[in-house]
């Protein structure tokens, strides 16, 4: 058996997350206590109790998902979870993967994602944009839609989650046009996301430049477990490669389907999603029926 740990990104958050983990596992409680100390405020209370409006703020969402994911990881390790052959994460989830691979200390990762969220919010205020999920169209069709809608502003494919489930990202006039075109082309669903940030698009360039300065001051180690990059579908094995990747991933699309297939080609037959929700394990089942994909989050770990 060859195992990959995979970690979810933004969108998996919900008030109450992590509470049952912290009640059931001392190792998970310690993670939340460390998060509170590192950030200087009660992130644990925000995870456990909300309110939802405050948890949805990207500068809070990002450390909250990271902390809940690492709490689940520490709890699962205590239950005998086998060591992985790869780690990977979807966008923000790559920071959880870096902690799992011992590239980043957890406290440093918390500081980084909190600042990442703040920079993304600030950049979104300066260059407003949005995102929309599109289901039922293939990549060439969606690329053509973005090319046509590009007459109204910047618009790109930001996430390729499965062969026919993608996210587009860009300036609002172009996004509105692309949403209309996708519906005209027969998409099964087109859902504008409740977000004013055009993640994984060139609109995030300023945030990426500023994040590079923050990363320069933080120590990164070579990973003890290879990391599959979600924007390039290539294996990262050195701290220098990872440092560059974490900057460029803000602007470039998440090629999740490609990354999963690359791990399968490298021999992975079991994917373990660690953190809130089951989004990634469900996506993997759509990408390939030849592998095992399971979620190991709060619901699964807290069962008697």
Q: pTM of the predicted model, to two decimals? A: 0.95
Q: What's the confidence (pLDDT) of residue 31?
A: 98
Q: Is it the case that residue 268 has pLDDT exceeding 70?
A: yes
Q: What's the confidence (pLDDT) of residue 302?
A: 59
Percent of the chain with pLDDT over 70: 98
Q: What's the confidence (pLDDT) of residue 297?
A: 73
Coil, helix or strand at residue 194: coil
Catalytic residue selected from 12, 44, 69, 91: 91
Query: 134 has which bridge partners?
Result: 166, 190
Angstrom distance (rounded) from CA 281 to CA 275: 11
Active site residue 199: no
Instruction: Note the pLDDT tens digit of each residue in 191-236.
Output: 999 888 999 999 999 999 999 999 999 999 999 999 999 987 889 9
Angstrom distance (rounded) from CA 163 to CA 86: 22
The number of beta carbons lying within 10 Å of the beta carbon of residue 272 is: 21
Instruction: Note the pLDDT tens digit of each residue in 79-135.
Output: 888 899 999 999 999 999 999 999 999 999 999 999 999 999 999 999 999 999 999
183: nearest Cα among 113, 245, 135: 135
Q: Two tokens at 230? A: 């979600």
Q: In terms of CATH architecture, what is 3-125+202-301?
A: 3-Layer(aba) Sandwich (3.40)
Q: Is it the case that residue 280 has pLDDT exceeding 90?
A: yes
Q: Using an 8 Å Cβ cutoff, are 109 and 98 in contact?
A: yes
Ranges for all domains in the chain classified under CATH 3.30.70.250: 129-192
Q: Two tokens at 43? A: 């992130």
Place of tokens 């990262």: 236
Q: What's the confidence (pLDDT) of residue 194?
A: 82
Mean pLDDT of 282-295: 95
DSSP run (H or E) holding 295: strand 292-295
B/e letters for 109-140, b = 16+ CB within 10 Å, e = fewer, are bbbbbbbbbbbbbebbeebebbbbbbeebeee
Q: What's the confidence (pLDDT) of residue 105?
A: 96
CA 260 to chain centre: 14
Q: Which fold has domain 129-192?
A: Alpha-Beta Plaits (3.30.70)
Active site residue 90: no
Q: Mean pLDDT in the chain? A: 94
Ranges for all domains in the chain classified under CATH 3.40.366.10: 3-125+202-301
Upstream peptide bond of 239 is cis (omega within 30 degrees of 0): no
Instruction: Note the pLDDT tens digit of each residue in 150-168.
Output: 999 999 999 999 999 999 9
What is the edge-to-edge ordering of all strands in the sheet holding 189-192?
Answer: 155-162, 165-170, 130-135, 189-192
Q: What's the confidence (pLDDT) of residue 301?
A: 73
Confidence of residue 304 (pLDDT cuts 50, 70, 90): very low
Q: What's the confidence (pLDDT) of residue 211?
A: 96
Mean pLDDT of 61-73: 97
Q: Two tokens at 11? A: 């969108």
């Amino acid at each position: 058996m060859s195992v990959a740990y995979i970690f979810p990104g933004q969108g998996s958050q919900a008030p109450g997350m992590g509470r049952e983990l912290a009640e059931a596992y001392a190792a998970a409680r310690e993670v939340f206590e460390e998060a509170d100390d590192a950030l200087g405020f009660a992130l644990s209370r925000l995870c456990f109790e909300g309110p939802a409006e405050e948890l949805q703020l990207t500068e809070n969402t990002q450390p909250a998902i990271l902390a809940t994911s690492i709490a689940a990881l520490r709890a699962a390790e205590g239950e005998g979870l086998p060591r992985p052959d790869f780690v990977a994460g979807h966008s923000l989830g790559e920071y959880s993967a870096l902690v799992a691979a011992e590239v980043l200390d957890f406290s440093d990762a918390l500081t980084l994602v909190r600042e990442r969220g703040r920079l993304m919010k600030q950049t979104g205020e300066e260059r407003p944009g949005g995102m929309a999920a599109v289901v039922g169209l293939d990549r060439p069709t969606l690329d053509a839609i973005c090319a046509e809608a590009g007459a109204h502003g910047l618009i790109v494919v930001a996430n390729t989650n499965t062969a026919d489930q993608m996210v587009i990202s860009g300036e609002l006039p172009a996004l509105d046009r692309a949403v209309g075109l996708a519906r005209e082309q027969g998409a099964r669903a087109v859902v504008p996301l409740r977000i004013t940030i055009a993640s994984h698009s060139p609109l995030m360039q300023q945030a990426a430049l500023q994040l590079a300065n923050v990363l320069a001051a933080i120590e990164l180690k070579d990973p003890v477990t290879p990391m599959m990059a979600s924007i390039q579908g290539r294996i990262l094995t050195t701290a220098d490669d990872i440092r560059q990747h974490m900057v460029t991933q803000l602007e470039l699309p998440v090629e999740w389907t490609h990354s999963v297939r690359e791990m399968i080609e490298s021999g992975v037959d079991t994917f373990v999603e660690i953190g809130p929700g089951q989004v990634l394990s469900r996506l993997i089942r759509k990408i390939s029926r030849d592998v095992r994909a399971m979620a190991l989050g709060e619901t699964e770990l807290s069962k008697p």
